[in-house]
Amino acid sequence: DVWSERVVTVLGQNPGPFTGPGTNTYLVGTSRRPLLLDTGQGVPEYLPLLVGALDEHRGSTELEGIVLTHAHPDHLGGCAQVRERFGELRVRKRPWPGFDADIEADLEAIDHDHVIATEGATLRAIHTPGHAEDHLCYWLEEERALFTGDVVLGAGTTVIPEHGGDLLDYMRSLRALLALEPARIYPAHGPRIDDATGKIREYIAHRELREEQILDQLGRGVGEVSEIVARIYADVPAFLHPAAATSMRSHLRKL
């Protein structure tokens, strides 16, 4: 789908309970050699779509390079697949030792405030830990838009994993993004978000409400995570309760 004159999204073909319809990957820039932001999971059905999108929307068979938000498999798992098809592309992300194993040898390290320029688009990296230690969002200067990776999603809320996640960091990251007053959000999962500041405020309010609910349950003497989850997430399907428990433990560690 075309989301702006410089942003085309190609769905990663990896739908699931935690990825929604799948991972959004992005062709960024207006030239015949755009950047690819995130690579999906490496699903075979993805590559023909990427090739088709390049041909249809850029009249091209080339990419300039790969830029990654973070090291979770549904974001960098397709790196080898893409590089096998398009050649030895530069791969840029914030390093996370132990999690970058598949791309470590080819990785060009970037960090907060690093600027990546391509024809028609200027991306500035913003370190936004909380969902993952290495997570970078990208500020698209020409549109005052944000590629938010898994920090803000087009539908649902972000899981705070027990390994590499930290809710206190996550809340700081949300407030840092809010301070930018973005006009639009391009998330890693779900549709484009046109009310960017409204969505970020909604995310902050959601976490603050969860914290109030947890404190209420603790005040009632409920101490087991599974029981707190069952009470607070009563309207959520049971198969999602383990993920809810992960976020619950993140809230408890923050408290």
pLDDT at 49 over 90: yes
Helix (H) / strand (E) element for 147: namely strand 145-149
Residue 123: pLDDT band with limits 50, 70, 90: very high
Cα separation, 65 vs 71, in Å, equals 17
In this prediction, residue 106 carries a pLDDT of 83
Q: What is the pTM of this model?
A: 0.94
Tokens 């500020």 belong to which residue? 139
Eight-state DSSP code of residue 136? E
pLDDT at 247 over 90: no
In this prediction, residue 179 carries a pLDDT of 98
Do 34 and 64 form a contact (C-beta atoms < 8 A)? Answer: yes
E strands in the chain? 2-4, 7-11, 24-28, 35-37, 65-67, 90-93, 107-109, 115-118, 121-127, 136-140, 145-149, 184-187
How does pLDDT run across 159-217, given as a tens digit for each residue?
Answer: 898 889 999 999 999 999 999 999 999 999 999 999 999 999 999 999 999 999 999 99
The helix/strand/coil state of 76 is helix
Up-side HSE of residue 200: CA atoms within 13 Å toward CB?
A: 26
Token couple for 40:
């999906």
Cα separation, 184 vs 192, in Å, equals 8
